[in-house]
């Protein structure tokens, strides 16, 4: 697989993940969205830190 194809596959996967996340966030009551987004950001930071190590 070429780098261009690998990149395109990765971008498509991220788009699919983003669509899924938006669909889930739309189901959460407005008063809880800030809390949930904070949890998701914290999880993403932990995942990023794990990848760096």
Q: pLDDT tens for the chain, 53 residues: list them.
A: 577 777 778 888 889 888 998 899 899 999 999 999 999 899 888 888 886 65
- Look up the pTM and report it: 0.57
Residue 39 CA to residue 33 CA, distance in Å, equals 10
Q: How far is CA 40 from CA 5, 21, 44, in A?
A: 29, 10, 6
């Amino acid at each position: 697989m070429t780098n261009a194809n690998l990149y395109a596959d990765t971008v498509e996967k991220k788009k699919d993940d983003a669509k899924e996340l938006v669909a889930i966030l739309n189901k959460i009551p407005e008063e809880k969205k800030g809390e949930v987004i904070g949890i998701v950001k914290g999880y993403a930071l932990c995942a990023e830190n794990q990848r760096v190590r």
